[in-house]
Each structure stands twice: as C-alpha cells, then as structure tokens.
Amino acid sequence: MRMSRFFFLLGQGVKNIFTHGFMSFASVAVITACLFIMGCFSLITLNIDNMIAEMQSQNRVIAYVDEDLSEEQARALESKVSKVKNIETCEFVTREEAMTSFESDYDADLFENIDSSVFRHRYVLSLTDLSLMQETKTDLENIDGIADVRAHLDYAEKFVTLRNIVSIVSVILVVTLFVVSLFIMTNTIKLATFTRREEIAIMRMVGATNGFIRLPFVVEGLILGALGGAIAYGLVALVYHLATQKLLAAMAFGFVVLVPFSTVALPLLGVFLGVGILVGVLGGVSAIRNYLKV
Amino acid sequence: MVEFKDVRMVYKNTNAVALDGVSFSISDGEFVFLVGPSGSGKTTVIKLLTGEERITDGELNVNGFDLKKIRLRRLPRLRRTLGVIFQDFRLIDKMTVFENVAFAMRVVGAKKREINKRVPQVLELVGLAGYEKRRPEELSGGEQQRVAIARALVNNPRMIIADEPTGNLDPVRSLDLMLLLEKINELGTTVLVVTHEKELVNAFSKRVIAIDSGKVISDGMDGYYGYENE
C-alpha cells in the first residue's frame, strides 16, 4: 500500500470519529464503563489479596525446643529446621528474647517475679504455602530436639479458602466483563457501521479492496479503544486516590495495608490501553465482517 | 465485453430461479437496453455482472474475468472495469461533489495530482463544472445522477451499468440523462441501461434485450421495447 493512500485511510478513520460523533461517544463510554468496573474490581481484589498475604505472613508457626537443650544445642537445630519443606523463613528466638517480647506486648508487671527459664527457646517460622501446614507441622515434630509445634491450622485453612474464593471470583468477573465489553463494543460499532452500510456498499462498488474498507474502521476502533482505556485509567486513579484517603482516615489504627497506586499505575495503564485497543479493533473488524463477504 | 452463456441462477436461500438459460453477449462499445417487468431478473443480471452474486450454472465472462471461478479477492479488480449507476444515486451525503467523484479514484490508489486533474474534466463532461464544492443535498435529482455518472466514469471503466438511472427523474431530465449516456458511449465506453421505461427506450434507436421470468424473450437492434405487458 502506498504511503499517501495509507495516510488517507488513517485520516478517514480519524475523520469518521468526528463525523459519527454520537456513535463514537457511545463506543468510548462503553469501553470506559467496562474498563472502569474491571479496574475497580481488580484493584479491590489486589488489595484483598495483599491483605491476605499480609495476614498470612503474620500467621507464624512456632517450633518449641526441648527444655533440656542448652541455647547452643538449640541453635544447632536451625540447619535441620530450615531444611524442612515449605519453610520460607526461620528465626531462632532465645527464651530471654521471648520473655522480653512478651513483656513489651503485655503488662511488664505480670512478669515481675517470673524467670525467663519458664520460656523455651523457639523457632519462629513462616511458611511458603499455608495449605501444606499440617505436613510441615508433622515434619517439624519429627525432628529430635523439637518438643512441640504450635500452628493455627484452622486459620490457615480459612486464609487459603478466602484467597481461593477471591481469586476465582476475580478471574470470573474480569473475564466476564471483558467478554461483555467486547460484545457491547462490537454491537455499538455494528450500529455505527449499519448507518454507514451505504458508504461501504459504494466503496465495494467502485472497486475498494476489503483491506481498504476495513482500515478506517480499524483505525477508528483503535483510537476509540485507546481513548476509552485512557479515560477509564484516569477515573480509576482518581477514585482509588479518593477511596484510599477515606479508608485510611476511617481506619485510624492502620491495620489495613493498601497497595499504593504508584506500584500498579504502569501495569494498569498498559492493560487498560491494551484491552481498550483490542476491544476497539476487534469490535471494528467484526462489525464490518458481514459487509465484506461479497 | 460481456458474455452470458446458458446462465442459470438460483438463489440459495429461497431456491427461487432468477435466471434460466440466459444467453447474450455485449461487445465493447455497444449501447444496450435491458428491459423487463419487476421480478423478471434484471437486477440479478446486474448482481451477476458486478460479482455480488454467483451463477449457478453456465458461463459468464465480464471484461476478461470468468465470473464462475473468480476469487473473492479479485472482485475489486473486476469492479474497477465497471462503473455502476443506481436509481437512488448513492452519493455520500457528507462529501462534496468533488470528494464524491474523487473517492472512486482514491479507492484505486490514484495520486492526488491525478485526482485534481481528472475530476474537473469528468465533471465538465457531465455538465457540472463549477459544482465541485456543493453537497448532494444542494443538488436536484438530475444533478445528483450526473455526479453518480461522473463517479462511475472517473476511473475510465470499460463499461457503464445504469440500474434504472431515470427512475427518480422527470421526463425532461430523464431524456437529458440518456443523451449524456449516449455521449459517453460515443466516446467509447460500453453502456448497459437497465430500465422499464418504454417511452425512453423507444426514443433511442438502440439494441434492446427483453427479459421475463428469468429468460431472454427478445433481443433486437431496432430500439423497440420488446415487452408489451409492462
């Protein structure tokens, strides 16, 4: 294709956006709305996931060392403990450190007449996969020198279930919204194309190739899709900013850990523009397909 | 050059037989009327000529293209050898007269310089010099049909196919239009006019092919409208 012809077709695509202003507005609005909903839901999911991960990281397993072992012997167990499958981090805590920690967490007066010898040396462990907690607990209990293992199996199961539900629901919703937006976009462009069927018929009659007829629609879909993506991104950024401010103000104690927008900004923009353009172009191509058969 | 050889055309959706054993040929440079009542098969003939429909049986050759075997991607090439004019003009409302005519040249990849040279020439030929910047809605029916003729002519097609070109025009404008088509024919372009306007056909001494119920019922050179029951 000659460059002048290519630019003519690009120009036609851009011109069509303004000529069919209302339909263009409707297409952008549909893409924006769908991406906005998709974006909001994805960010909610991401934050729930992040909070679960945070809670999961705090759900530690404690392996108590046999009281008869000295600190040196207790420390020597670290190589065995850390080699157990599914252990992510392994931290040795002496009985004195454990007591200090308790004193700071609770009222220090409670520990006034208590000796640190009532505490045991211990390993504070975090796991890679909470769903394997039972197996890990058994493995730890089988190590000579480990007297007891405390693990909150019920919490672990709940976290895993919650995380799985959130993941499944988010995937279903995002896929559904993508299909819905593609469907609506295709139909909106189909409607726009229907009003231009005469124009397409004339183009075919004077000998236009399918590529020549299709390109302006592709350009139009691409621009409208990108525009919808950009607007949706702006809206999501704004809403997220406002929502996080309100939420953090309401949760004065700050136990809610929110994902900063800056960490997701670039990937989100990429996804929004990508999905917007994909939906726009696919919508444009599929809408005129029927007119290009003869 | 158009050649129908024992062409049979059955619409797939309805199984309706539109053409049944139609044979005729049109040589380069001829002026031919194709006449017949509504539902006789005239429109089907046009659809076959432009590749919108495929023949079911027989042979059809148009300007060197075998329309029984032609591939979909070759259809634009065929259509560039034809200029089609419709009863309802089919101009693009949002374009000016110049743009409507130039559009046909854009489609075939003509350069801007060629377009700027050729479009005014064709508009002058059809009597619309000075109308370049007007839009279709500002023109009369006759003028709009002239724009359509200019658009059909601008790429120098080998053949002009006019489908009821005077259907929306008064008798005076209709005659003017036919005279213009005759002039175009005299310049060397083959012209096929599909019509059911008896008076108009009889006013010109041209070849007339009459078709009814999908069959050719007469083909004469005496300019006589061969179908009397219209």
Residue B227, pLDDT score: 55
Q: How far apart are CA A204 and CA B107, in angstroms?
A: 9
Residues of chain A in contact with residue B80, where contact means CB-CB under 8 angstroms, are 206-207
| Average pLDDT score over residue span A209-214 | 85
Which 3 state secondary structure label does DSSP give A283?
helix
DSSP string computed for chain B: -EEEEEEEEE-TTT--EEEEEEEEEE-TT-EEEEE--TTSSHHHHHHHHTTSS--SEEEEEETTEETTT--GGGHHHHHTTEEEE-TT----TTS-HHHHHHHHHHHTT--HHHHHHHHHHHHHHTT-TT-TT--GGGS-HHHHHHHHHHHHHTT--SEEEEESTTTTS-HHHHHHHHHHHHHHHHTT-EEEEEE--HHHHHHS--EEEEEETTEEEEEESS--------
What does residue A184 show for φ and ψ, rounded to 5 degrees? Answer: -65, -45
pLDDT band for B230, please (50, 70, 90 cuts). very low
Q: Which residue of A has its CA nearest to B78?
A: A207
Question: How many A×B Cβ pairs under 8 Å?
Answer: 49
- Tens digits of per-residue pLDDT, A250-293? 765 555 678 888 888 999 999 999 988 888 888 778 777 777 76
> Would you call A206 and B109 a contact, using CB atoms and an 8 Å cutoff?
no
| Average pLDDT score over residue span B14-21 | 92
| Average pLDDT score over residue span A184-207 | 78
Cα B68 to chain centroid distance, Å, stands at 20
Q: Which residue of A has its CA nearest to B102?
A: A206
H or E element that contains A126: strand A122-127
Min Cα–Cα distance to chain B from A206, Å: 6
CB-closest option in B51, B92, B94 to A202:
B92
Exposed/middle/buried for residue A94 (C-beta within 10 Å: 0-12, 13-18, 19+): middle
Residues of chain B in contact with residue A204, where contact means CB-CB under 8 angstroms, are 76, 79
pLDDT over 80 (residue B111): yes
Q: Which residue of A has its CA nearest to B161?
A: A205
| Lowest-confidence region among A8-17, A78-87, B101-110, B158-167 | A8-17
Residue A294, pLDDT score: 55
> Would you call A207 and B77 a contact, using CB atoms and an 8 Å cutoff?
yes
| Lowest-confidence region among A12-16, A85-89, B195-199 | A12-16
Torsion A13-A16-A21-A23 (CA) sign: negative
Average pLDDT score, chain A? 82
pLDDT over 50 (residue B17): yes
CB-closest option in A2, A201, A207 to B107:
A207
In this structure, CATH architecture of domain A60-151: 2-Layer Sandwich (3.30)
pLDDT over 80 (residue A184): no
- Tens digits of per-residue pLDDT, A278-288? 888 887 787 77
The answer to whether the CB of B40 falls within 8 A of the CB of B214 is: yes
| Lowest-confidence region among A21-30, A88-97, A245-254, B31-40 | A245-254
Give bridge partners of residue A91 from the DSSP assignment: A124
- Tens digits of per-residue pLDDT, A167-183? 788 788 878 877 877 78
Comparing A284 with B131, the larger pLDDT belongs to B131
Residues of chain B in contact with residue A205, where contact means CB-CB under 8 angstroms, are 50, 79, 84, 90
Interface of B with A in 59-118 (CB under 8 A): 73, 75-80, 84, 90, 92, 94, 103-104, 106-109, 111-112
> Would you call B106 and A201 a contact, using CB atoms and an 8 Å cutoff?
no
Listed by start position, the domains of chain A span 3-55+158-292, 60-151
Give bridge partners of residue A32 from the DSSP assignment: none
Tokens 């609506």 correspond to A184
Interface of B with A in 155-194 (CB under 8 A): 155
pLDDT over 90 (residue A99): no
Average pLDDT score, chain B? 91
**A contact test, residue of B101, B106, B119 with most A CBs within 10 A:** B106
The answer to whether the CB of B20 falls within 8 A of the CB of B215 is: yes
- Tens digits of per-residue pLDDT, A46-80? 887 787 777 767 778 899 999 888 888 889 989 88
pTM of the model: 0.66
pLDDT over 90 (residue A35): no
* N-terminal to C-terminal alpha carbon distance within chain A: 22
> Would you call A2 and B109 a contact, using CB atoms and an 8 Å cutoff?
yes
| Average pLDDT score over residue span A122-134 | 85
pLDDT over 90 (residue B57): yes
pLDDT over 90 (residue B118): yes
**B contact test, residue of A10, A200, A205 with most B CBs within 10 A:** A205
